[in-house]
Structure 1
Amino acid sequence: MKRSLEQRLKDGPVIVGEGYLFELERRGYLQAGSFVPEVALDNPDALKQTYRDFMNAGSDVVLAFTYNAHREKMRIIGKEELLEPLNRNAIRLAKEVAKEHPTEEALVAGNISNTNIFDPEDPASKDQVRSMFAEMVKWCKEEEVDFINGETFYYHEEAVIALEEILKHDLPAVITLGLMGENILRDGYTVEESCRILSEKGALVVGMNCFRGPDTMQPYLEKIRQNVEGYVGALPIPYRTTEENPTFFNLPDAGCSCELPLETTFPTALDPLYHNRYELAEWAKAAKEIGVNYIGLCCGASPAMLRAVAEAVGVETINSRYSPDMEKHFLFGEDETLKKHNLEYRVKA
């Protein structure tokens, strides 16, 4: 039988593949800038393959790609009439892929996210946000997801509204926060304070996702772990953020030889700033050691990166048979049948 999220967390760790937004833009099926997941309707096969690739790389969860598929984003691109079909189709495609798992059907998560219209000084914006979440959660419930992931909230109160709407439908909730460069949520809460409150209010998992790479997320994860009794989640971006530039929004690239269309490398010129998979694996080990239970990667992640993260915490993935093995490489292998004259050129290659 398919175990629930809570059962898997008890057996832990749970591996979660995110990052569809950047991955599908990289594959050519999503527009950078608006970042609306129209792919669920325009190119469903491309979305299914992306779901499949991350599941095969170790993800226990197929996260329905409805990030940014809320009424405000659909209004901006003038396609509000597609809001419900897009949400429902993204979930249905996720359910189809989840059933393909050869050993245990993957979990399917609904997804709601930051709206970018929340204003702590404007009660009307709070009502609008609640209405947006309510309709999306309702569709998730009707499509029978296993839990709902609410993510990338940089206002504590918006995260609370998301949690309240999820719990109204008696669904497990994962709530993760996006911490911007101020190092504090925009309504004044620290991430550890917000996570403690969210956990006490009933979220099954609380933690952080997006915006920050491992180096600038990990110190806050340690604080969250110290302040939260329940399960903790962490899904950093795979970029080399620093104390000076703690998020990917303002990461510089000193080696760039051309003028970029924006002032910074975000979002389409981040390529030279990746962590490699081995660095990400080391982070995953460190996250597990401090007690993070729900481990993954966010925007910019590739299936190969996620596989390295999963394997680092002891998970053998469906596609682990394709993990690197240099034994038979013509220059760097140790196989006795390799041509010796090639091996002499290792240093010179």
Structure 2
Amino acid sequence: MKRTLEQRLQDGPVICGEGYLFELERRGYLQAGSFVPEVALDNPQALKQTYRDYMNAGSDVVLAFTYNAHREKMRIIGKEELLEPLNRQAIRLAKEVAQENPVEEALVAGNISNTNLFDPEDESSKQAVRTMFAEMISWCKEEGVDFVNGETFYYYEEAQIALEEVLKQDLPAVITLGVMGENKMRDGYEVEEACRLLQEQGALVVGMNCFRGPATMQPYVEKIREACDGYVAALPVPYRTSEEHPTFFNLPDGGCACHLPTETTFPTSLDPLYCNRYEIASWAKDALATGVNYFGLCCGASPSMLREVAETVGREAINSKYSPDMEKHFLFGSDDSLKKHNQTYRVKA
């Protein structure tokens, strides 16, 4: 029997690979803008390979790619008839890949997320959100997921509704919040208070994901750790956010010499603003020292970045054999068999 999420958390850090949205757009299988994961139906082998790449990079979890695959988003693109087939297919593909893990079968997580429909002043919107979550989680239950990941909620109350619906299906819940530039939840809650409440109400893991890079997420993760007794998650985006620009929505690129089709670098011009893998490793080390239990990266993450996180927190990935090793590099290596004259070009190269 494979270990449950809670059992793995008791044994040490758990790694969850996210970031499929940007990665599949980079690979050419998803449209930026609408950002709907139709890839599960249109190109299932591309989605399976993405799942596989993140799992082999260290993820203990194959997260079903149903972010934005809710009724409201499908209504906007005029494809509500694909809602249930897409959700079920994404989970089934995740289960197939999870069983390929040669060390221990990976966990499979269902996925629900911010709806962009929730309005704290509109009771009908709250009921619509609840209905959307309920149907997605029912499919998760029927397809046999190990837990449900509810993510990127910027309203505490929407996260609360998500948690309630997960618990109705008797499934473990990981609930992570996206904090925008106001530095608090949009319905006024401090993020650490929201996480404490969600944990008290039954979430197995609480924390933050998306929007913020390591530099501007970590201070809030530390507050969450202080406020919460249970398991804490942190999944930043791998971009160089700052106090002046705390999220990736408004990151400037002062070096860009061309006209951008959007007002900001988000979402298709963020490339020059990446953290490198060593910055990611430095953050993971700090997060581990803080007491984070559930690690990952969100939009923009690549498998090599996730592997850096896994290795930093003491895990060996399936593909750790491909981790960087400069010993035999012709310019920078130290192996005795290398031609010494090449090393004179290190500076001039």
TM-score by length of 1: 1.00
Offset of residue 344 of structure 1: 1.4
Q: How does 1:110-129 map to 2 (within 5 A)?
A: 110-129=110-129
Residue 70 of structure 1: aligned partner: 70
Aligned equivalents of 2:344 and 2:338: distance in 1?
Answer: 11
Residue 192 of structure 1: aligned partner: 192
Residue 152 of structure 1: aligned partner: 152
Aligned equivalents of 1:200 and 1:266: distance in 2?
Answer: 35
Residue 172 of structure 1: aligned partner: 172
1:273 and 2:273 equivalent? yes
Residue 50 of structure 1: aligned partner: 50
Percent identical = 81
User: What SS does structure 1 have at the residue aligned with 2:345?
Assistant: coil
Residue 282 of structure 2: aligned partner: 282
Q: How does 1:34-45 map to 2 (within 5 A)?
A: 34-45=34-45
Letter in 2 for 1:87: N
Residue 306 of structure 1: aligned partner: 306
- Encode CA deviations 1:114-169: one digit per residue, 9 max, x unaligned: 00010000000000000000000000000000000000000000000000000001
Aligned equivalents of 1:129 and 1:160: distance in 2?
Answer: 11
Give structure 1 stretches of 5+ with no counterpart.
none
Aligned equivalents of 1:287 and 1:337: distance in 2?
Answer: 40
Residue 291 of structure 1: aligned partner: 291
User: What SS does structure 1 have at the residue aligned with 2:234?
Assistant: strand
- Encode CA deviations 1:165-210: one digit per residue, 9 max, x unaligned: 0000100000000000000111010100000000000000000000
Aligned equivalents of 1:115 and 1:297: distance in 2?
Answer: 21
Aligned equivalents of 1:257 and 1:192: distance in 2?
Answer: 40
Residue 220 of structure 1: aligned partner: 220
Offset of residue 339 of structure 1: 1.1
Letter in 2 for 1:306: L
1:318 and 2:323 equivalent? no
Aligned equivalents of 2:285 and 2:145: distance in 1?
Answer: 29
User: What SS does structure 2 have at the residue aligned with 1:248?
Assistant: coil
Residue 181 of structure 2: aligned partner: 181
Aligned equivalents of 2:38 and 2:222: distance in 1?
Answer: 36
Residue 8 of structure 1: aligned partner: 8
Offset of residue 109 of structure 1: 0.1
- Encode CA deviations 1:286-312: one digit per residue, 9 max, x unaligned: 101111000000000000000001000
Offset of residue 342 of structure 1: 1.1
User: What SS does structure 2 have at the residue aligned with 1:34?
Assistant: coil
Aligned equivalents of 1:344 and 1:220: distance in 2?
Answer: 46
Q: What is the number of residues matched between the two proteins?
A: 349
- Encode CA deviations 1:244-278: one digit per residue, 9 max, x unaligned: 00000000000000010111000000000000001
Residue 99 of structure 1: aligned partner: 99
RMSD over aligned Cα, in angstroms? Answer: 0.4
Aligned equivalents of 2:11 and 2:298: distance in 1?
Answer: 23
Offset of residue 40 of structure 1: 0.2
Offset of residue 340 of structure 1: 1.5
Residue 251 of structure 2: aligned partner: 251
- Encode CA deviations 1:296-329: one digit per residue, 9 max, x unaligned: 0000000000000100011010000000000000
- Encode CA deviations 1:92-125: one digit per residue, 9 max, x unaligned: 0000000000010000000000000100000000
- Encode CA deviations 1:3-31: one digit per residue, 9 max, x unaligned: 00000000110011100000000000000
Letter in 2 for 1:159: A
Aligned equivalents of 2:250 and 2:227: distance in 1?
Answer: 30
1:22 and 2:7 equivalent? no
Offset of residue 343 of structure 1: 1.4
Between 1:176-185 and 1:332-341, the stretch displaced more is: 332-341
Aligned equivalents of 1:174 and 1:267: distance in 2?
Answer: 26
